[in-house]
Amino acid sequence: MNPLVTIIILCYDEFQYVYQALNSVLKQDYPNIELIVSDDASENFPEERIRTYIEKHAGKNITAWYINRNEKHVGTVKHLNIVAKLAKGEYFMSVSADDTLDNPEVVSTYVQELSTKSDMDILMAQVAMCGEKVKDIHYYFVQPHIREILLHHQDSNALFNELVQHPYLPSVSTFFRHTFFEKHGYFDESYHLVEDWPLHLKIAREHIPVLYVDFVAVCHRSGGVSHRNKEQQDLIYNQYLTDLQDIYTREVQPYLDQVPKDIRERVAHKHRVDAAWSCWITTYRGTGLKGTLQYLFRFFDIELYKRLPQLYHKLRGKQWLVLLAGLLIGCFGNWASAVIGYSGALLFPGWDLYVPCMVLFSVATKVLVAVGAVVLAVYYIAKLFVLIMDIMQLYF
């Protein structure tokens, strides 16, 4: 008996790769798949073309399929909940329209592994982060220290210590037993775009067991937001930043007393850096000099923390150039003035170019030497700042 597996392909606005996503599902060797293609109210959703494509290419392994279209745009989290409630499969997973399942055995592997673990309702696997071509793999999403926790320790506290710092767990390669939602609820609709990080924090906090199987299940194309036009990109990115700040306030900050002091301090600092960036993007960017000054007044310490190390690395190896240029002009200024003055007298009789040239070279020398001195001072201040930061990270 092969239990029904529901695979959902989520769409919104971009359909460049949707047929690759479809092919990766249609080619699965698992014999009992329900396929749902769901669109979140896109204006250009090619429903008839997709319907025709499935009818033409679906094999016997696709035992049921249909297309869902939301009447209005609701965002990733609500969209996912709508379709999860439509799914009839005993097992459930979702991918985006620009993702692909890595190979034809992915679903079979998921079912085989999770079916042997009656005490677990959720399985995660590795994700290959790709460019436009899925064979162009940039890196793998699940990092080694997270793999170690999931594979060998199953320590929810250690996992939570990591998750408060960063959303390290994958979403698109997550395979659910449908009873997971009956026990723990659906994705939190307090958020608009980010469905995975709040859920993962909840899993770690409540010690919900996670099965991790170390194989590549999904190829995920990076930069989905960047494929949209600038107006869409800004709106989506602003909402994404808002979600992250809300997640910190509701899911991270109230529980920081449960993590070690060093992690708590690191998370608090990272949140302030992220909050500064979010505030710049959503409030101050594009407001002119007044807005920039207001931002700097509010987040001066954060900008100093970020910019001085950047400045140090930019100036490194170049800090003496401006000062050297000034000194060279000063050394050869008299000689150059004499040559120009003599040449000018030959070309333009009656013109005395020596004195103006001497004044020009004298001013240039003073300016370059002054600028060089300032550059050197800034360089060594930045170098001292970076050194202090390194010492604090080493000992504290």
Residue 213: phi, psi to the nearest 5? -115, 125
Q: Which regions in the chain score pLDDT beneath 70?
A: 223-234, 301, 304-380, 382-396
- Predicted pLDDT at 272: 80
Residue 268: phi, psi to the nearest 5? -65, -40
Q: Kind and range of the H or E element at 175? A: strand 174-177
- Predicted pLDDT at 358: 59
| CA–CA distance, 278 with 260 (Å, rounded to integer) | 26
CATH superfamily of 5-227: Spore Coat Polysaccharide Biosynthesis Protein SpsA; Chain A (3.90.550.10)
Residue that is written with structure tokens 């400045």 in the block? 311
* Domain locations along the chain: 5-227, 230-307, 321-395
Beta strands 62-69 and 33-39, pairing class: parallel
Beta strands 91-96 and 5-11, pairing class: parallel
DSSP 8-state class, residue 222: S
- Predicted pLDDT at 5: 97
Residue 163: phi, psi to the nearest 5? -70, -30
| CA–CA distance, 339 with 9 (Å, rounded to integer) | 76
Q: Kind and range of the H or E element at 255? A: none
What are the start-end ranges of the H helices in the chain? Answer: 18-26, 47-57, 76-86, 106-115, 144-148, 156-163, 179-184, 196-205, 230-247, 261-279, 288-315, 321-347, 354-395
- Predicted pLDDT at 349: 60
- Predicted pLDDT at 306: 66
- Look up residue 350 and give its amino acid: G
| CA–CA distance, 133 with 261 (Å, rounded to integer) | 43
Residue 285: phi, psi to the nearest 5? -60, 130
- Predicted pLDDT at 55: 94
146 in Cβ contact with 249 (< 8 Å): no
Q: Tell me how far CA of residue 264 lies from CA of 205, 213, 257, in angstroms.
A: 16, 30, 8
- Predicted pLDDT at 200: 95
